[in-house]
A and B are shown apart, each in its own frame.
Chain A
Amino acid sequence: MSGASRRARAWLVLLGLVYASILFAGFIAPYSPDEQNRSAPFTAPTRLHFVEANGRVHLRPFVYRLVNRPGTFDEYDEDRTRPLPVRFFVRGAPYSIAGVRGDRHLFGVEEPAKIFLFGSDQFGRDVFSRLLFGAKISLVAGVLAAALALGLGLALGSLAGFYGGWTDDAVMRIAELFLALPWLYLLFAVRSMLPLHIDPARAFLLLVTVIGVVGWARPARLIRGMVLSAKHRDHVLAARAFGATDLYLLRRHVLPQTAGVVLTQLALLVPRYILAEVTLSFFGLGVTEPVPSWGNMLAAVQRYEVLTSYWWMFLPGIALGPVFLLYYALADAFQQELAHQSS
């Protein structure tokens, strides 16, 4: 096993952890994403204490209840009279993971205190919980859209490359049109043709479809080139001479040769499409409130007072960085592995 493939495996494991935490969002998040606390808007990330005001040291971290300072909107004081310890596997809001219902959460604190690890938003909703549930939309939309774009690209690209002639001409000319447009303009234009106000579940599917359909051209062109060179290899010609059908040739000899490129493309396209979903939702053209997506969460920052005063509202945008880094590193490792194999 080469260094590159070892690294690819390490990045895959890390990405797997990220997506596992999305799957178990209901369990890991202490609150439900739409639970509002109207008396606690824009609270800063809750401080975890180990030492009480009177000097008593606790081994288990604890929090204090926050009380709104009279006469202010977003300033809070800690109620130091009673420490409320952080507990694990507490009962809370019901959720369901892959159909299994539960109400145990990884951690939580006793009411009336709240634990907002990443602060709260304008309705007093827990940003940490919303970040986890928002990832369910944003990160998954990226993967599904990339899979759709690559699927379409694979089908049309191999069709064009394998059959050549007018099929090739037609597919590639249309691909050229899609590539001639600045892609965000294209994405917004296609989105504009569809109804504006739709419920979040349908919006999610719609976004995945739009992003995937808009993105087919680049992978199609890449795959066409690979298929074109693969179909003239000696072993493919030999198999054809022995009477192999087109479908058999494609499946058995031609498409497997594109696997490495397809995987690399997947790793490069997913972050791009995650960002596409975030951008559309940010501008109110994607998944809408109250369902959280990293895009519509970040949209709150457009308000002046949020931009200047509440840094934790940037977290949905900041969280994109590590995710992108993982995907780019994975693509890099795939690419090196490909170069390693071909040399």
Chain B
Amino acid sequence: MRYLSRRLAHGLLVLAGVSVLSFLFIALAPGDFLNEMKLDPRISPAMVGALRERYGLDQPLPLKYAHWLQSVVRGDLGFSFAYNSSVASLLWPRARNTLLLTVPATCAAWLIAVPLGAWCASQRGRWADRVCAAMTTALLVVPELLLALGLLWLAVRTGYFPVGGMKSATFATLSSSEKARDLALHMVLPASALILLNLPVLVRHVRSSLVDVLASPFIQGARARGVPPGRLLFRDALRAASNPLISLLGLSIAALLSTSLVVEALMSWPGLGPLLLEAIAARDLHLVIGAVMCSTLLLLTGNLVADALLYLTDPRLRVERQ
């Protein structure tokens, strides 16, 4: 457990560091939401000044940061001018939607990648492996923007899936089973974009780490003793290769969140991505910081989950530190 608590403490430190970093960036930024407001002739300069004072925008940076920390403790993460509400109340539903999209997409991508990569590794050098390698390379060079746009085009052309958004207009009137179906239908497009975008890297890693393990003496020995190939591959080899793969899970979450930003924005999935873009367009810096911190939090949580999995699967981690 000491291992996990140390990882947790490290994560919290990183989170604190990221918040300081983003405040430093803000200090360098010219202008804020109220600057844009000043240009509006209907709002008097005195009013803008009063707002500036009320929300502490005229204070020096350390004080601003202290105010922000206070708001974190209160749990509202500051005030969004553009939406006229607390940042936290805007963030949570969006973060939930992002999770709703990325968690199933990650699970599906791994469920496809592990057997596919293992199969490629066992077929190493044969035509199946080559076809697989060619396909992952092809997927790797497709930029995420193009893939998402291509899927949208496909959806519009075929009409099988709803294009964009998360719910139908009639969502509120549906029964709960219909609601689930509606949501799932809306998820197909963005989720398959995410899966296709993350698949090539995963398949390649699974394949290469299994190729190493399959060449090792203990596998050769097991094969010589007549262990059936399927059991050899999925029970013995995969277990030995699991360590770097679980580390990859932690790393792949960063890539997943980045691609998710683009996919969400393009398919108007109401997640963190579109919120960040709207916040940038409105120069709502508190909201920008909130969205960035939220994405960091998701990433660190993902890493922590990977660490916990590593702790469970790798007995060396449990023994070493006692």
Contact = CB atoms under 8 A, between A and B. Distances in A.
A207 B257 CA distance: 21
A189 B21 CA distance: 11
Interface residues of B, number: 51
Contacts of B283: 192, 196
Interface of B is mostly: helix
Contact of A314 (B146, B255, B266, B280): B146
B217 interface: no
A176 B258 CA distance: 17
A325 B292 contact: no
Contact of B254 (A183, A302, A318): A183
Interface stretch (A57-65, A94-102, A274-282): A274-282
Contacts of A317: 143, 145-146, 149
A283 B277 CA distance: 8
B233 interface: no
A304 B289 CA distance: 32
Nearest to B155: A307
B257 A180 contact: no
Interface of A is mostly: helix
Contact of B156 (A183, A284, A308): A308
B258 A184 contact: yes
Nearest to A307: B153
B254 A279 contact: no
Contacts of B17: 173, 176-177, 180
Contacts of B31: 195
B160 interface: no
A177 B18 contact: yes
25 contacts: A176-B17, A177-B14, A180-B17, A182-B257, A182-B299, A184-B257, A184-B261, A185-B257, A185-B272, A185-B295, A188-B280, A189-B291, A193-B25, A193-B285, A195-B31, A278-B143, A278-B145, A279-B144, A279-B145, A298-B149, A302-B266, A314-B150, A318-B146, A321-B146, A325-B137
Interface of A: 173, 176-177, 180-186, 188-196, 275, 278-279, 282-285, 298, 301-302, 304, 307-308, 314, 317-318, 320-322, 324-325, 328
